[in-house]
Structure 1
Amino acid sequence: MPRSAGHLIVDTLDSAGIERVYAVPGESYLDVLDGLYDSPIETVVCRQEGGAGFMALAESRLTGRPGIAMVTRGPGAANAMISIHTAWQDATALVLFVGLVPTADRERGSFQEFSLPEWFSSTAKRVITIDDEHHAGELTAEALRIAAAGRPGPVVVGLPEDVLVRLTEAPTPRIAEAAPTIPASAELESLTARIADASRPAFVLGGDGWQTGCRADLARFAASAGIPVLCDWRAYDAVPHGSRAWAGWLGYGRADAVARGFAEADLLVFVGCTRSDVASDGYSIGFDAETVLVSLDTEATQHAGRIDQHILASPRTFTEALTSLDADALRGGRSDGWMEERVAAQARFAAHRPDAEAQPPAERTRTGVDLGVAFGILDDRLGGEAILTYGAGNATIWGHRFIRHQRPASLVGARNGAMGLAVPGAVAASLTFPDRRAVAICGDGDFLMNGQEIATAFAHGATPLIIVIDNGVYGTIVSHQENHYPGRPSGTRMVNPDFASWVRAFNGQDGAGMSGHGERVEATDDFAPALERALAAGGPALIHVLIDPATMPPAADETT
């Protein structure tokens, strides 16, 4: 029976197991929206295209399935660009569908017209335009496959308005599951010899693909072999923080001891990630070590420096192969001393402590909440079970340092430094895993990038907890200014509303369906009871935390 190309696209997504699409509606893809009307796929109506893209990215990172976003042409596509850049640099599978002008209107300067490939080709794995209704399903399936294959990333699919309404009898394509890439026995023998010969080996885990129990399996095996496990920036849910091998993360806010361990290692085994500028402190450390790269990316994108062995495998297939080996064979003549030293240093670094303890006596009169205390309380209360989402900025560093992760798929953060992911990411996390607590950690600047997606939470029944750290400045930039232009702040001050009252303003509104909880906290002693009330709330909750503008992240020395 004939159906429109737009409906065929929806049927293809459904057959691929897609459960949600995140969309800002547009007249350029009305037929796809009509197809979603009768579909089991939930259409999450977002308030800005950047938020829609970040929600799709968050779902992808948490589930391993490509996230799906839909936006309209021109301005809509421009707003969504931030999520495409994030998915590209972060290596996260994302498919963005973009409505386009009718084919007859192309290259005539028509309303909201733009060039899809010229905008996105440098930051997407593939840019596809569906110009033939009979190929709509086939190209949709191809987009899903490409997004998830090899090094994951974004694929952009253009939907000309007139093509979508054309009828076709093309069948819904069957999407075959890709066969897993399994390391060869010769590769494992070589790896075993390298690790056994090393005095100071280390695993570095990162990227996506750690949603299963393989993370815990690899950590247990590493501990048995006396190998510390480090994680890449904002990928440290790849290791349970209760593991005997957990030795901290690399990148912004890391412990100095972690950087020293990375620099001193004589063998680095990167699994799912690379030696990037962030991990290597701006290409300055960790380049002398023998290097093994475990990645499905044949081009080793973003990897800098030597590669002595490249094993094509996913985190899951590599872990399954590795843990089938004899851990004693990898240990060689090493004791646990190297691993235990690294693990102990991270434990000291992550131990809860008030910020005030590290301040000179003259500065201990700062106003506002002591974040060292607040995040220690938050960590104790969450118990390593929550999903944490982060945007960008200094306000996130306390969360990275003090909040434990014991479960897989429990961290979503923009590894490319994009602001505005925290709130939409938490909304998507709550929708994807409604039985788990989703907590957004963001600064005041980050919150106002995409804070409007609180409305999406109310509309769709999501219940995120949002912690907004308010210092009235763009704190990360202020810290750089103090380093390079001391005493000359410029372009970094902000004026903020009462964020707590904003959440409460949704109460009683038509379509909201539930009540929001918002509190403003200006003193350290008030944080714990406010947190308990927020966690007990039945709907979205927000705690607006006031801190002194002079407050900067805690020192990277684990002893302070």
Structure 2
Amino acid sequence: MRHGGQILVQALKTNGVTRVFCVPGESYLAALDGLFDSGIDTVVTRHESGAAMMAEAHGKLTGRPGIAFVTRGPGATNASAGVHIAFQDSTPMILFVGQVASDQRDREAFQEVDYRAMFSPLAKWVAEVDRTDRLPEYINRAFATALSGRPGPVVLALPEDMLSDQADVIDMPAAQPPKAQAAQSDIAEITERLAQAKRPFILVGGGGWRAEARDALGAFAKALNVPVGAAFRCQDYLNNDHPNYVGDVGIGPNPELAKAVREADVLLALGPRLGEMTTSGYTLLRAPLPEQALLHVHADANELGRVYHPSLGVAGRPAEVVLQLAAHTGSGRFQSTHNPHDPDGRAAYVSALRRSYEAWQRPVETPGDLKMQQVMAHLRDTLPETAILTNGAGNYAGWLHRYYRWRGWRTQLAPTSGSMGYGLPAAVAAALEHPDRSVLCLAGDGCFQMTSQEFGTACEYGAKVIVLVVNNGMYGTIRMHQQKTYPGRVSATRLKNPDFAALARAYGALGLTVTETAAFPDALAQAMAADTPAILDLKVDPRALSTTLQTKDL
């Protein structure tokens, strides 16, 4: 006989869970008891949004569901931001929410919420476990649902009495989601249509990728000599030094890159949903019938044809499909029939796009003594390939997207949902998972203050994160749009900021203020050498907005 918390934790261990994130609550005391001496690392955060965002980032990093525990009512509503990120980013995640005891349900008891109604638009599956002996069943289904098809978040509500009750149950084996490969005829058609195209283009993104698929993508693109662009905040899906990588098709892309997508005759969308951010507000492809021959590969069949009618729709996990494509192009059968249209012209086409990408990364002058474009260039040229960079949302992210190069797999953690405050919790999760790697969080002053309390979590658990706070004293994105739409009428966008470097020192960490470009390399070196987390307060001129980066909204 075991109580529900012990049964639950054993199911987590069976499914390979090694770390969970939480804010403790009396509604799930039995689960906390189950975690005691379980061998699972329990990270206590300062706020439920931080716990959920850390779990989401953990899911991105590992490809396995990140786990968060929060209490009922306010705890659940605070965590909803992380669930929304996981949904829009197609990240596997499971949120466990304490619930009122079953004999108090439907009385609007203390902190009672109907979680099925609350989370159903934000999660793949929401359920409430009514029986202790069914916990293994529910948890295995949660893992299978989070990982199968288009990955995403699952929410399980745990009534307090159910969790503390005892039951004699048999533990289930780990969930095994299907591979979801494409038919061989689809692989052959995709390969042939790309080979015969004059101006083909591959656009990669979405969830469910892994390192092997990234390598296969590079081999496939090289074999067919096709340019590859990354969807919004998916820039680490191919080594940015690869000769076929031509930039990110996100917010405010390189105009030459946007033109190439618009003028492509065959476009292979390998994983992305083709949402607003990746299509520049649904302008790079005409909806609902694109001018390009659209070959759309997506793990969820319901996504195919949802916005754009594809010439060929393939329901399959992009990681599996790209492995199939690489194997097909490497076969002797394909080589014998491969006859690309104008191979010399194709090579010139790819080379021109690559040169345009490299030119796009040359720094553009901005006002002020501290130049963020130069800061990003220094990071690009000095950080190891394994360094992980995180960010939330804000005008500042435009510099990172444009000037940095991601070379290693899962070295970019950022929310495609555009959620502010994500960067610091994601950095903490990354530093705990990879303590031997450099982890940097880039955050605007407004973005940082959404979750700045999680710097305390980093200090408590020894997560050596370096936070670069881009401090311009305002909500820069909104100010940019405000000045454009209502010039001279500044409202609700100013920020009164603390001394961020002093905040770091108050935690016993390293805090430095940087006011000019020449001082940044030394400040970064000190932060890299420190044995504590660090905050570098970067004082940026408020006039240095992303209008110079030709961005729409960051």
Please name the residue that 2:498 is paired with.
Answer: 497
Question: What is the alpha-carbon distance in structure 2 between the residues aligned to residue 418 and residue 279 of structure 1?
Answer: 16
3-state SS, counterpart of residue 135 of structure 1: helix
Alignment of 1:9-48 (within 5 A): 9-48=8-47
Deviations 1:444-466 (A, max 9, x none): 00000001111111121210111
TM-aligned CA deviation for residue 325 of structure 1:
2.3
How far apart are the structure 2 equivalents of 1:466 and 1:216?
30
In the TM superposition, 1:245-260 aligns within 5 A as 245-260=244-259
Equivalent pairs counted in the alignment come to 539
> Equivalent residues in 2 for 1:250-399 (5 A)?
250-286=249-285, 287-300=290-303, 304-326=307-329, 329=338, 331-334=340-343, 335-351=346-362, 353=363, 355-356=365-366, 366-399=367-400
* Residue 284 (structure 1) shift: 1.3
Match of 2:532 in 1: 539
Mapped to 2, the partners of 1:31 and 1:443 lie a distance apart of 39
Moved more, 174-183 or 423-432: 174-183
Distance in 2, Cα, partners of 1:151 & 1:229: 22
1:202 paired residue number:
201
CA distance in 2, matches of 1:424, 1:218: 30
| Offset, 1:54 | 0.4
8 Å CA contact 2:257–2:353 kept in 1: the answer is: yes
8 Å CA contact retained: 1:275, 1:302: no
CA distance change for structure 1 residues 127 and 301 in 2, over 3 Å: closer, same or farther?
farther
TM-score by length of 1: 0.93
CA distance, structure 1, for counterparts of residue 133 and residue 444 of structure 2: 47
Q: Which residue number corresponds to residue 519 of structure 1?
A: 512
**Percent of aligned pairs with the same amino acid:** 36
The answer (yes or no) to whether the contact 2:124–2:145 under 8 Å persists in 1 is yes
Q: 1:318-357 CA distances to partner (integer Å, 9 max, x unpaired)?
A: 1221112237527343431221121111111123x2524x
The 5-angstrom pairing of residues 83-98 of structure 1 reads 83-98=82-97
Q: Where do residues 479-498 of structure 1 align in structure 2 (5 Å cutoff)? A: 479-498=480-499
In 1, the alpha carbon distance for the partners of 2:443 and 2:483 equals 22
Asked if residue 157 in structure 1 is aligned to residue 156 in structure 2, the reply is yes
One-letter identity of the residue aligned with 2:545: M
CA distance in 2, matches of 1:46, 1:528: 31
Task: Tell me, in whole angstroms, the C-alpha distance in 2 between the residues paired with 1:80 and 1:390.
Answer: 18
Larger deviation: 37-46 or 207-216? 207-216
Gaps spanning 5+ residues in structure 1: where? Answer: 357-365, 508-515
In 2: Cα distance, 1:202 partner to 1:178 partner:
30
C-alpha separation in 1, matches of 2:26 and 2:340: 62
Describe the SS at the equivalent of 1:336: helix
Residues 399 and 549, structure 2, Cα contact 8 Å, conserved in 1? no
CA displacement, residues 273-329 of structure 1 (integer Å, 9 cap, x when unaligned): 122111111111223111111121110179521211122322331122111223752
User: Is the 1:213–1:408 Cα contact (8 Å) retained in structure 2?
Assistant: no
Q: Is the 8 A contact 1:66 1:147 kept in 2?
A: yes
Distance 2:223 2:217 in 1: 10
Q: What corresponds to 1:225 in structure 2? A: 224
- In 1, Cα distance between the equivalents of 2:385 and 2:451? 26
Distance 1:104 1:557 in 2: 58
Structure 1 position 367, deviation (Å): 3.6
Amino acid at match of 1:338: Y
Mapped to 2, the partners of 1:174 and 1:290 lie a distance apart of 44
Shift of 1:498: 0.7
Question: In structure 2, what is the equivalent of residue 422 of structure 1?
Answer: 423
Task: Give the 3-state SS of the residue equivalent to 2:546 in structure 1.
Answer: coil
Q: How many angstroms apart in 1 are the aligned matches of 2:88 and 2:133?
A: 33
Tell me the SS of whatever aligns to 1:122: coil
Structure 2 vs 1, CA of residues 185 and 354 (structure 1 numbering), >3 Å: closer, same or farther? closer
CA distance in 1 between counterparts of 2:292 and 2:118 reads 39
For 1:510, the equivalent position in structure 2 comes to: none
Query: Residues 45-64 of structure 1: matches in 2 within 5 Å?
Result: 45-64=44-63
Letter in 2 for 1:524: T
Identify the residue that residue 451 of structure 1 maps to in structure 2: 452
- The TM-score normalised by the length of structure 2 is 0.94
Partner of 2:523: 530
Mapping of 1:70-219 within 5 angstroms? 70-219=69-218
CA gap 1:302/1:155 in 2 versus in 1, 3 angstroms: farther
Instruction: Point out the more displaced range, 20-29 or 287-296.
Output: 287-296
* Distance across 2 between alignment mates of 1:236 and 1:298: 25
Q: Whole-Å Cα distance in 2 between the matches of residues 554 and 477 of structure 1?
A: 12
Cα 1:169–1:15, aligned 2, differ >3 Å: closer, same or farther?
Answer: same
Counterpart secondary structure, 2:120: helix
Q: Secondary structure at the match of 2:121?
A: helix
Structure 1 residues 529 and 485, CA, compared in 2 at 3 Å: closer, same or farther?
A: same
Residues 46 and 472 (structure 1 numbering): CA distance in 2 closer, same or farther, change over 3 Å?
same
In structure 2, C-alpha distance between the alignment counterparts of 1:376 and 1:347, rounded to whole Å = 12
Distance 1:148 1:326, change over 3 A: closer
Preserved CA contact (<8 Å) 2:265 2:293: yes
CA distance in 2, matches of 1:395, 1:375: 11
Q: Which runs of 4+ in 1 moved over 6 A?
A: none
